Amino acid sequence: MTATRDLISPKSPRWSRVLERVEHQVYHLPEYVTFDAELCAGRPLAFVYEEPGGVWLLPLIVRWVPGTDRIDAVSPYGYPGPVSDRRDEAFWERALAALLGTLAEQGVVSLFVRLDPLVDVPYRALQTVGTLVTHGPTVSIDLRLSYEAWWLQLRKYNRRTIRQALRNGWECVVDDWSYLDDFLAVYDETMTRKGAAPAYRLERDYFERLRAALGDRAHLMLLLADGQLIDGNVMLSTGTVLQAHLAGTRTRYLPHASRLFFHEAFRWAQLQGFEVLHLGGGVGAKEDSVLRFKQGFSLQQHPFRSLRVVVDPGCYRRLTLMRPAGSVVDDGTGFFPSYRIPSGSPTSRGPRLDDEGARS
């Protein structure tokens, strides 16, 4: 068998067959990529490179560049990154070279990829095709720990607050989607409190479509006080990993509800057989108060990185120079791709990069 390189659609059974061979997250599933592509009017695809003894896959969303006849590519929202059943650098370099060649043939201008913080990959191979940017840490809880060992990792204030919340008799409810409207009200209150960007003012349709796409991989975890919803989180799962996705808390119940939520999430996730509860990082992947809050529940951290690839340098520069005055071609470490910089936001970090409302 010779090496092959292909772009495949979510309808291809090959996509699922490859995922059966590799460690992956919910963000790699064809159902999730299709769901996310619909949100940004893009086309869901996966690039697959295969040779004897190894396979490599990267989920992609291909989008039209506004006002042009060119396209670019981005990984779906979350922590996807490339996945493979091999870790040797030479194999990854061949897969990446094949990816670059395929994207160039398709007329793709640039590629933005969010990497999976939970999986160590040959980062030096990634740097052969683009710029690797480290944004900040994310936090996860090791569910293989005993409850007692995990409890000792919590900050003293968190333990004290959780004990007080437990005495209040608050109830944890999981996967009762009849509470969706109540969760939406709490989520909207949270986004208003944080001054979240319009992209995170999500309507009921978003959550219904997410649940329809993922089925029992989408979980609605809730805290109730006297029957009233005070805190909730949509969580996504695949394999042994549970990912915190979108959260909301009633303002009057801060900070007790949020701390008790992580306590209840640990107990429920451990009972379900998950091994990792990934809480994510700070707002915009920054080291901020959101990150510090999450660090109070675990000692386990992971660097979150992105890969930026300019596939067609000439076109990339022309598109950037077409932007309003002040948009410049940078070194790839700021907003990427630079030709998509929103007006008045020259220092933004990148498209939908773990922004306000995600994993918070």
Report, as an integer, the average pLDDT of 15-41.
97
pLDDT at 329: 61
**pLDDT at 357 exceeding the cut of 90:** no
Beta-strand relationship, 241-249 and 276-281: parallel
Contacts of 148 (CB under 8 A, 6+ apart): none
30 and 57 Cβ atoms separated by less than 8 Å: no
pLDDT tens readout for residues 124-147: 999 999 999 999 999 999 999 999
Question: With a threshold of 0.85, does the pTM exceed it?
Answer: yes
With left for phi above 0 and alpha for psi between -120 and 50, is residue 352 left, alpha or beta?
left
Whole-angstrom Cα Rg for the chain: 21
Residue with tokens 């701390």: 259
pLDDT tens readout for residues 53-62: 999 999 999 9
pLDDT at 306: 97
pLDDT tens readout for residues 172-216: 999 999 999 999 999 999 999 989 888 889 999 999 999 999 999
Contacts of 83 (CB under 8 A, 6+ apart): 19, 22, 23, 24, 28, 56, 57, 58, 116, 119
Beta-strand relationship, 171-174 and 108-114: unpaired
Q: How far is CA 237 from CA 25, 125, 167, 203, in A?
A: 8, 29, 30, 22
Q: How far is CA 98 from CA 23, 44, 51, 333, in A?
A: 21, 19, 11, 24
**pLDDT at 358 exceeding the cut of 60:** no
Residue ranges of E strands in 52-90: 54-64, 71-74, 83-84
Which domains, and CATH codes, for the chain? 4-135+305-340 (3.40.630.30), 144-274 (3.40.630.30)
Report, as an integer, the average pLDDT of 322-342.
77
